Amino acid sequence: MTVIVTGGAGFIGSNFIFYMLKKHPDYRIVCLDKLTYAGNLSTLKSVMDNPNFRFVKLDICDRAGVYALFEEEKPDMVVNFAAESHVDRSIEDPGVFLQTNVIGTGVMLDAARKYGVKRYHQVSTDEVYGDLPLDRPDLFFTEETPIHTSSPYSSSKAGADLLVMAYYRTFGLPVTISRCSNNYGPYHFPEKLIPLMIANCLNDKPLPVYGEGLNVRDWLYVEDHCKAIDLILHKGRVGEVYNVGGHNEMKNIDIVKLICHELGKSEDLITHVTDRKGHDMRYAIDPTKIHNELGWLPETTFKDGIKKTIKWYLENRDWWEEIISGEYQNYYDKMYSNR
């Protein structure tokens, strides 16, 4: 079995590659990644010498390059993680989100169709459903919830999902889609809430909470997401969407306070800054379908997962310090100074 994994030098894609190489030692995993600011070859160094692993630096929008790789590798499955993934960046510069997330997905679908695959899996997000009000804790996103996006990021992901379903209906391409809630864990890029707060805490820098910090996210340990995708690939029904989430809703402010507490830092570091434009209030996944059909349940509690994650950032300072010392500093200054 040969599996092409796009975006495998990023956060979830790399964790998925580690998971798959361990779980299916007879599979060949080919990682295709453009190595944008979010992709790090150093993340994959532990698997670079694995004979069942190959890394190819390639843009999913490069049609000729993608076709040549499919011709050569003849993949059985494709898992498309590659995307521009940060909501704040999509508010600053939407264009690249449309290019990679929509056009790039179109190229991957064409390649999957042209060369024939047993499964094309699209890694989508709960953000395609928009948000839920804080005063209705009884409401959850199901697979039937209408698409109702807020940001250029979520709109581009929704566009990709619609294209994937069109290739199923029109061409019979064997597709599946997963829509997961917020992930956290090792190799999470430090622009995102949890790793940003850990890094700033460790450097005694202000902790920039958008608005009052009352927005709610439904956090899932990254390995539980990887397990869900593996299950969907092997047992999921073609043409179906599966929501993935672990009923772990938390307010941003509570997460930041917890990180301060775990690292023995003062909550005085917390600084409330101007809110994100169009900021979604609450995400909450109903995972009944994947539980009933595929038996998936999250295995790592938030209590354990956040401890493991903080420990990982403490033990892997080189990984994130290298990132935040480079070009990232310009991004940080642009987004956070005078905010």
Instruction: Give me the DSSP letters along 204-215.
Output: T--EEEETTS--
Task: Give the interface with ligand TDX as residue ranges (CB under 6 A).
Answer: 85-87, 125, 127, 182, 192-193, 196, 208-210, 215, 217, 252, 276
Let me know if 327 is a catalytic residue: no
Select from 290, 136, 249, 269 the least CA-distant residue to 207: 269
Under the criterion CB under 6 A, does residue 33 sit at the interface with ligand NAD?
yes
| Token reading at 96 | 């690249």
Under the criterion CB under 6 A, does residue 258 sit at the interface with ligand NAD?
no
Paired sense of beta strands 249-251 and 220-221, if any: unpaired
Range 142-161, binding ligand NAD (CB under 6 A): 157
| Token reading at 148 | 């109702």
181: helix, strand or coil: coil
CB atoms within 10 A of CB 296: 23
Select from 117, 113, 104 the least CA-distant residue to 75: 117
For ligand TDX, the closer CB: 181 or 300: 181
- Contact partner at residue 163 from ligand NAD, ligand TDX, none, CB < 5 to 8 Å by partner kind: none
Let me know if 191 is a catalytic residue: no
Under the criterion CB under 6 A, does residue 300 sit at the interface with ligand NAD?
no
One-letter amino acid at 108 equals M
Under the criterion CB under 6 A, does residue 104 sit at the interface with ligand NAD?
yes
Q: What is the rounded distance in angstroms from the CA atom of residue 57 to the CA atom of residue 65?
A: 10
Backbone angles phi, psi at 207, to 5 degrees: -105, 100
For ligand TDX, the closer CB: 71 or 254: 254
For ligand NAD, the closer CB: 154 or 200: 154
Nearest-approach distance from CB 49 to ligand TDX, in angstroms: 30
- Contact partner at residue 200 from ligand TDX, ligand NAD, none, CB < 5 to 8 Å by partner kind: none
Let me know if 126 is a catalytic residue: yes
Binding stretches for ligand NAD (CB under 6 A): 6-7, 9-13, 33-36, 38-39, 59-61, 81-85, 100, 104, 123, 125, 157, 180, 182-183, 189
